[in-house]
Amino acid sequence: MMRTRPLKVALLGCGVVGSEVARIMTTHADDLAARIGAPVELAGVAVRRPSKVREGIDAGLVTTDATALVKRGDIDVVVEVIGGIEPARSLITAAFEHGASVVSANKALLAQDGAALHAAAGEHGKDLYYEAAVAGAIPLIRPLRESLAGDKVNRVLGIVNGTTNFILDKMDSTGAGYQEALDEATALGYAEADPTADVEGFDAAAKAAILAGIAFHTRVRLDDVYREGMTEVTAADFRSAKEMGCTIKLLAICERSEDGASVTARVHPAMIPLTHPLASVRGAYNAVFVESDAAGQLMFYGPGAGGSPTASAVLGDLVAVCRNRLNGATGPGESAYADLTVSPMGEVVTRYHISLDVADKPGVLAQVATVFAEHGVSIDTVRQQGKDGEASLVVVTHRASDASLTGTVEALRKLDTVRGVASIMRVEGE
Amino acid sequence: MMRTRPLKVALLGCGVVGSEVARIMTTHADDLAARIGAPVELAGVAVRRPSKVREGIDAGLVTTDATALVKRGDIDVVVEVIGGIEPARSLITAAFEHGASVVSANKALLAQDGAALHAAAGEHGKDLYYEAAVAGAIPLIRPLRESLAGDKVNRVLGIVNGTTNFILDKMDSTGAGYQEALDEATALGYAEADPTADVEGFDAAAKAAILAGIAFHTRVRLDDVYREGMTEVTAADFRSAKEMGCTIKLLAICERSEDGASVTARVHPAMIPLTHPLASVRGAYNAVFVESDAAGQLMFYGPGAGGSPTASAVLGDLVAVCRNRLNGATGPGESAYADLTVSPMGEVVTRYHISLDVADKPGVLAQVATVFAEHGVSIDTVRQQGKDGEASLVVVTHRASDASLTGTVEALRKLDTVRGVASIMRVEGE
């Protein structure tokens, strides 16, 4: 049953993702029409530089006036792939007001203003879909929102930033330092000229906020996500990790507390056992573990970025939103009914690997062990190594709260016999 | 916006999956209601043995008359977890006729009669969902039907049977033979008393038919799926695989031909490189690779069977179907518009590992190589090993059609110098 009036799509942004969306809409028009039940038509493309030649896109569709495009009134779906907060937010809001549903790939905006955007979509009876905002082509939002809708998710643990995974993988496999690995990532196009959003964990933190919100049916703001970048991970940390049978990954971790009453979300580098499936995620790939009551452990793996993979996710959403429109229905909106407490980092419970530079004399280990005990942090293993009157002490703890660990480290720094805290790294995935 | 009239669910079957569905519907009733937008109520449970005590299920709901239950007329969703062809097929058909949508976990029925069931659902404007029919809790049907709806899937390659993966993993890690590993699987409850459906590949073939149909938007009948079990895989095959840097897995492979005009679906044991992510799928876990034009390579991993994981998939579908019902809409139905040719096994192109027992005398290799050349099968490597006048010859080919390989092997068997073909195994995942 094919409807002949085409659904009209406005594309906002025509960079690496947008141009690929436009290309597939053209080359696979028949497939999309068959899957949706009606043809879809590119009705307008808003760009910043209209003079740039865009192969396969009718020049008559190109405009610099994105606002006029979303307000035309005949647009069924607005696809937003410009990124950033403004003008994306105003354009999406205007789209809902003027009768369109929205497909977005904008993690920063969704993480910051997801609740308001969902409210606007709901008010106007429109869809807001954003599979492409997290982990590129990997179906993750839809499995969490729909496939696991009858289950209770307890943890989401994943590698959600390809740039940093490329850098850490390079450091792991070659022994390179951070700067050297970053330089290679930049040269190969895996890192942007200003890599801050990736290497400082801002990108992963936005994704963690989105994932935690969906997984726990609770609003999780970007500010709720603890964030620690990976710029201070050293070649020495990788050597320590290897001694532990681990590697180091930048992880996004969203967890329900053991009593179920609260949740946490965080992004930081962590040691993870080589036997864990996330340890073997190479290059710029992404992978996300989801643990739930009934399903157990699921893993989703694939390319986390890039024009084509992101376009695949955008187009999957586009098909869904178009089908909903033909049905006169909408898909699942925001689900925040559980409204759980979002706890600060201090309440996170995990294990720690701590390297201390200490004086090489009798009694040091006893002193250090006493500090751990006083703060309620139980020690799993200690390794002591002497060198010329100095020694290093590597302590791996049992599970303890981040607050206890912070207190322990503050007290350790005050000991005369502790010359310095060389590194502290969390140990995950056990 | 919560509707107060509950949606009524009829549960057909109350074994390991059904009892878990009922349990979660009861214990997580509030969550389900919040996610659906209306409460769901267990309105009847059809069982074979009504006298059995079922904890947590009101005895007044239990009936042996499944037909009367699905025909009651007030049922919103029928959940079918009895399995097998009849009476499941008649019950599902009756459910549609009497106004209910259906969630099923029945791979055998879907593989055999999916088209007719989809037609019945469509005729009555009802939903037919069956995420649980393939790979247990792993979201796979929904990602293929929805997330990748804007992409072009070229291959689905996976481990979709936990019993056989447990057995093969055991053979690989312990050097055990097939029977010994099967006995252990049976003792641990991973294999049924009659393991035929699993070890002969019938179960995996049903899943391959379902996956191929969805992936390629083409009807793929169970008879279209080439099927070879894993009962003849030997410890010697594993040793050969190790020499190749491979392990052996029972794979379901659905592929589009290189010219895009036809597809194939098959289930057989195959060597797969240890570096391939599927090689490290342990025990009874399932994992499926999906390769598409835009998304690239995606992998989905998780528990492929068991009461709770399967119940998770059933409940995800239940939530979706209930939402659709409240929306007055239906989800995606069968999509078979592409109607591609389903080619027979002979047209499959892959690589082969062949072990021959040959006479240990000059000229044998030349004879054998000539036979391969005459059939257009190009040899990658040959390894020759002599022992007491006999020798073994291990040939690994480049990519060739299955028909060419079959012809080659027939001709080899006719050579005086070839005493026997010890094993033929396909090599995949490269």
Contact A303 B297 (CB under 8 A): yes
Mean pLDDT throughout A331-349?
95
d(CA A183, CA A178): 9
* Phi–psi pair at A218, nearest 5 degrees: -145, 140
State pLDDT tens for residues B70-96.
999 999 999 999 999 999 999 999 999
Q: Return d(Cα A246, Cα A271) in angstroms, integer.
A: 6
B12 marked as part of a ligand binding site: yes
B243 is in an annotated binding site: no
Q: State the count of interchain CB pairs (< 8 A) between A and B.
A: 192
Query: Mean pLDDT, to the nearest integer, of A187-195?
Result: 93
Residue A333 lies in a domain: no
Are B217 and A35 inside 8 Å of each other by CB? Answer: yes
A344: in domain: no
- Structural domains in chain A (count): 3
Q: Which two tokens stand for residue B34?
A: 């919040």
- Was A376 annotated as part of a binding site? no
Same domain, B155 and B297: yes
Exposure pattern of A104-124 as b/e (b: 16+ CB <10 Å)?
A: bbbbbbbbbbbeebbebbbeb
Residue A338 lies in a domain: no
How close does chain A come to B37, measured CA to CA in Å?
A: 10
Active-site residue, A207 included: yes
Please say whether the beta carbons of A281 and A265 come within 8 A. no
Q: Round to whole Å and give the CA distance between A387 and A390.
A: 5
CA angle A303, A308, A309 (to 5 degrees): 30
Is A17 within any annotated ligand binding site?
yes
Closest by Cα among A83, A110, A64 to A212 = A110
Identity of residue B133: A
> Given an 8 Å threshold on Cβ–Cβ distance, is B34 in contact with A337?
yes
Residues A182 and A293 in one domain: yes
| Helix segments in B100-227, DSSP class H | 107-123, 141-142, 162-174, 178-187, 196-199, 202-216
Q: Which residues contact A189 (CB under 8 A, 6 or more apart)?
A: none
What pLDDT shows up at residue B55?
83
Q: What ipTM describes this predicted complex? A: 0.92
Indicate whether A208 and A321 sit together in one domain.
Answer: no
Can you give the pLDDT of all 430 residues of chain B as single tens digits? 556 789 999 999 999 999 999 999 999 999 999 999 999 999 999 999 888 878 889 999 999 999 999 999 999 999 999 999 999 999 999 999 999 999 999 999 999 999 999 999 999 999 999 999 999 899 999 999 999 999 999 999 999 999 999 999 999 999 999 999 999 999 999 999 999 999 999 999 999 999 999 999 999 999 999 999 999 999 999 999 999 999 999 999 999 999 999 999 999 999 999 988 899 899 999 999 999 999 999 999 999 889 999 999 999 999 999 999 999 999 999 999 999 999 999 999 999 999 999 998 888 999 999 999 999 999 999 998 877 777 899 999 999 999 999 999 999 999 999 999 999 999 998 7
Q: What is the mean pLDDT of residues A13-40?
A: 96
A147 is in an annotated binding site: no
CB A60 within 8 A of CB A40: no
In a domain? residue A37: yes
CB contact under 8 A, A312 and B295: yes
Q: What is the pLDDT of residue B430?
A: 78
Residue A28 located in a structural domain: yes
Q: Which CATH number does the domain housing residue B74 bear?
A: 3.40.50.720
Min Cα separation B310/chain A (Å): 7
pLDDT at B384: 87
Q: Do B146 and A329 touch (CB under 8 A)?
A: no
Give the closest of B309, B324, B332 to A295, CB-based. Answer: B309
What's the pLDDT at A304? 87
C-alpha distance from A24 to closest chain B C-alpha (Å): 8
Asked if the structure places residue A146 within a domain, the reply is yes
Q: Test A295 with B308 for CB contact under 8 angstroms.
A: yes
The answer to the question of residue A332 being in a domain is: no
Q: Are residues B133 and B145 in the same domain?
A: no
Q: Are residues B175 and B297 in the same domain?
A: yes
Residue B363, C-beta contacts closer than 8 angstroms, at least 6 positions apart: B417
Question: What residues contact B180, with CB distance under 8 A and at least 6 apart?
Answer: none
Q: Give yes or no: residues A183 and A258 share one domain.
A: yes
For residues B267 and B173, membership in a common domain is answered with yes
> Chain B residues with CB inside 8 Å of A309's CB?
294-296
CATH number at residue A295: 3.30.360.10
> Which amino acid type is present at position B352?
Y
Domain that holds residue B186: 141-303
Residue in chain A closest to B298 (alpha carbons) equals: A302
Task: Exactly one of B126, B170, B207, B249 is catalytic; name it.
Answer: B207
Question: Both A264 and A159 in a single domain?
Answer: yes
B303 and A295: CB-CB below 8 Å?
yes
Measured from the Cβ of residue B51, the count of other Cβ atoms closer than 10 Å reads 6
Q: What is the pLDDT of residue A385?
A: 82
Question: How close B349 gets to chain A, by Cα (Å)?
Answer: 25
Whether residue A145 sits in one domain with residue A131: no
Contact across the interface for A150 and B316, Cβ inside 8 Å: yes
On chain A, the residues whose CB falls within 8 A of the CB of B142 are 139, 142-143, 146-147
Q: Which residues of B touch A332 (CB under 8 A)?
A: 35, 323
* A79 shares its domain with A184: no
The active-site residue out of A8, A52, A170, A207 is A207
Q: Which candidate from B277, B298, B311 shows the least CB-CB separation from A137?
A: B298
B387 annotated to bind ligand: no
Residues B257 and B198 in one domain: yes
